């Protein structure tokens, strides 16, 4: 029985390694070409496997695209949730910097996301899976602003924060004439300005909101 359990575990690990290999290749290709112009054959070539092997793990290209979107975004969300659980008082700049660092370091994943923002069209079931991940991310932002005692529309403020971070990444990831560290530092300087504006807005809202009776 122990030997059988060990073999089962090894097979599961091997399957996960191959699955991740396919997702890594898919992210690279989806980051170069839009979803509707990518073929399974191209992904298989990048992964160094037969196209038929991909279908052992993913029934179709759309499923693979969604899983590629979900995997790394889910890893970031797990990390942010852990940070939130460990925080003694909210340091919004720490969350913001981790978000920027993650997508700078996972450039193919970020390119894939931006392509989807601009051109993505998927079926309702796939869209629901992506919306579930987006709600988890926005839920973290909601909790950050709620713990900062923001009394207004928390979800609207979370959307604003998400849009600002996305805009920084899109606008400055390929800043001409700057190396990677200079780009990273510049993004974080802009992020601090976004933080300051949000803090000023939250403070102004608090002054404008009458105290509860």
pLDDT at position 145: 93
Q: Residues 86, 130: contact at Cβ < 8 Å?
A: no
Digit-by-digit pLDDT tens for the chain (213 residues) are: 666 677 677 677 888 889 999 999 998 898 888 777 888 999 999 999 999 999 999 988 888 988 988 989 999 999 999 999 887 778 899 999 999 999 999 988 888 888 887 776 778 888 888 899 999 999 999 999 998 888 889 999 999 999 999 999 999 988 899 999 999 999 999 999 999 999 999 998 888 766 555
115 token code pair: 């392509």
CATH number of 2-208: 1.10.357.10
Which of 145, 129, 137 has the alpha carbon at shortest distance from 103? Answer: 137
pTM: 0.85
User: Where are the chain's structural domains?
Assistant: 2-208
CA distance 143 to 23: 31
């Amino acid at each position: 029985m122990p030997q059988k359990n060990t073999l089962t575990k090894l097979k599961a690990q091997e399957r996960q390694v191959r699955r991740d290999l396919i997702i890594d290749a898919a992210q690279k290709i989806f980051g170069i070409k839009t979803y509707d112009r990518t073929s399974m054959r191209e992904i298989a070539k990048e992964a160094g496997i037969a196209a038929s092997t991909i279908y052992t793990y993913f029934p179709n290209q759309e499923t693979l695209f969604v899983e590629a979107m979900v995997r790394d975004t889910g890893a970031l969300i797990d990390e942010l949730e852990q940070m939130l659980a460990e925080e003694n008082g909210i340091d919004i700049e720490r969350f913001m910097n981790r978000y920027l660092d993650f997508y700078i370091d996972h450039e193919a994943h970020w390119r894939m996301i931006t392509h989807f923002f601009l051109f993505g069209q998927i079926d309702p079931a796939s869209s629901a899976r992506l919306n579930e991940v987006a709600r988890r991310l926005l839920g973290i932002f909601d909790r950050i602003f709620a713990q900062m005692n923001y009394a207004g529309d928390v979800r609207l403020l979370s959307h604003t924060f998400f849009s600002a971070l996305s805009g920084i990444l899109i606008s400055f990831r390929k800043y001409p004439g700057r190396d990677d560290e200079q780009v990273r530092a510049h993004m974080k300087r802009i992020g601090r300005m976004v933080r300051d504006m949000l803090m000023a807005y939250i403070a102004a809202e608090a002054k404008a909101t009458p105290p509860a009776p």
